[in-house]
Amino acid sequence: VIGRAERGREAITYTRQVIHDGGIVAIKGIGGFHLCCDATNEDAVKKVYELKHREDSKAMLVLLDDVGKLASYVTVPDIAYDLLEVNDKPMTVIYPGAKNMAKNLIATDGTIGIRITSEAFTKALLYRFHRPIVSTSANISGEPSPKCFAEISDAVKAAVDHVVDYRQGETANPA
């Protein structure tokens, strides 16, 4: 549903519920618009792969809101904590020993890419959701990644369960 006039907590609550119910949402994040779903729900992850016309052997990024949650989902080498502590830009780390996530999200070697988000809306959503979410560009595989709402194809807009109103009007791409 596009155009829902949510603000603040209402937007987060509504988006959280859609994801909780296995839905796919489009959210403006760092780098453009992304499709997001519950990273622990195999059916939701499958829907994202199908929407994107993407082979399920191709990895998708997972977001968390806090470094302290990593150990619940992966084996965290000490060096990863060191990197995350000094990093000041968005960084995805490929971790071994993925667990407690949708099996169709985990690579055949047991790894998964996770980013600790600093984007305000997504961070607040993750805090309220209490689980990781998938984040992948809001496009059909092979098409350009949308940097703003106007660049999302009609097919993708029609296929998602919700487009978050937050930052829809932006045409520039600030972090």
Per-residue pLDDT tens over the stretch 121-161: 899 999 999 999 999 999 999 899 998 888 899 999 999 99
Instruction: Please tell me the pTM assigned to this model.
Output: 0.88
- 3 pLDDT above the threshold of 50: no
Task: Give every strand in the sheet of 162-163, ordered side by side.
Answer: 92-95, 112-116, 61-64, 133-137, 32-38, 25-29, 162-163
Number of Cβ within 10 Å of residue 160's Cβ equals 24
Average pLDDT score over the chain: 88
- The band of 2, judged by pLDDT with boundaries at 50, 70 and 90, is very low
